[in-house]
Amino acid sequence: MGRRRLWTGAPPGRNPFALPRGLRGRLAGRIMARANRACNAELLAWLDVRAGTHVLEVGCGPGVLVELLTRRPDVRVTAVDPSAEMVAMAQRRNARAVRRGRVHIHPGDAAATGVDDGRVDLAISVNTVAMWPRLDDGMAELHRVLRSGGRAVIAWHRRPARFALAGEELSAVEAALANRFGNAERTILRGSVVFSAVKCG
């Protein structure tokens, strides 16, 4: 863990939000659940997820976006996170939907979701892209799991400003998405910068 570095060049160090583990990780999960709810709700309103959509969330954390997605009719959700603590928290938060088979939550990361090729309509990452070790590996995985016409959506903090990525880092995310998908669009929401692309062919 000490030698692992992120694509931004920064080491994750002992930051409990980078890879939540143990008691500190569970506390971080509770903080994330409160702090990110408004951001998740804003993104979901912008996305307008329709009935019948199969969504993959990469880096689901404590499962707040999963919970909000299950309030939409006939939406199925697969969610992955590299943290065992976050997987457990997300499963508890969404226990009823898990029992009903609408939600599947398991260990995984941006480069290895465990989802079959072309299985999802919408792949989302919220406030996790800066934690990916290799940016292009994550983009390749999103492209692989999406069906033709499916959409990849990557959001990162705009507010509070102390969490915002630098301009060149935002440009790197946009360029990596465009390189893999052949297209990319940047949208500014109140709390997030959102990058999206559609899989063609």
93-124 pLDDT, tens digit each: 999 999 999 999 999 999 999 999 999 999 99
Task: Give the alpha-carbon dihedral of 194, 51, 34, 20, to 10 degrees.
Answer: -80
| Domains of the chain listed by start with CATH number | 22-198 (3.40.50.150)
pLDDT at 63 over 50: yes
Q: Higher pLDDT residue, 27 or 124? A: 124
pTM over cut 0.95? no
pLDDT in tens, 126-171: 999 998 989 999 999 999 999 999 999 999 999 877 788 999 999 9
The tokens describing 84, both together, are 């065992």
Dist. CA 86–CA 22, nearest whole Å: 10
pLDDT in tens, 78-89: 999 999 999 999
Dist. CA 37–CA 113, nearest whole Å: 23
Query: CA quadruple 4, 155, 127, 92: dihedral positive or negative?
Result: negative
